[in-house]
A = this chain, B = another copy of it.
């Protein structure tokens, strides 16, 4: 299996809702970063988070093993710092090998689920 995808991806529309309803953790409001590493080498992934009113924070480091997918909730990114809720953000993903990146959201701030997903932007 050869490497598939790009080494850099960007997502402009991040925002983790403040409220959560329903059973946790499966119904926790969250944004999720999905990274597919189809290559035979480990992907060393670095994430930089951009905000509206302060300097970018990062890199958050993530390893994705060869031939594996890793789906990470942004709520779980805590080093170098936990991400604030109810705050607009964007991100750039940089990987040591080509990967494929998708962005998903679950919003349970009202009683029922709402979900959304989009392919990230593959940087040229």
A residues contacting B by CB (< 8 A) are: 1, 4-5, 8, 10-15, 17-18, 22, 26-27, 32, 34-36, 38, 48, 50-53, 55-56, 67-71, 86, 88-90, 92, 99-105, 107-123
Extra 5 A-B pairs, beta carbons < 8 Å, given A5-B121, A13-B104, A110-B112: A10-B36, A55-B67, A90-B100, A114-B115, A121-B122
Assuming the contacts A8-B4, A10-B36, asked whether A69 and B90 have C-beta atoms less than 8 A apart, the reply is: yes
- A110 touching B27, Cβ below 8 Å: yes
Identical subunits present: 4
CA distance A52 to B105 in the complex (A): 19
Listed from nearest, the 6 A-B pairs whose CB atoms lie closest are: A13-B102, A69-B90, A13-B34, A36-B90, A12-B36, A12-B34
Please give, as numbers and ranges, the residues of chain B lying within 8 Å of A50 by CB-CB distance. 36, 38, 67-69
Q: Separation in Å of the A22 CB from the closest CB of chain B?
A: 6
Q: Among B27, B55, B68, B103, point to the contact of A52 (Cβ < 8 A).
A: B68
- Flag if A13 contacts B52 (CB, 8 Å): no
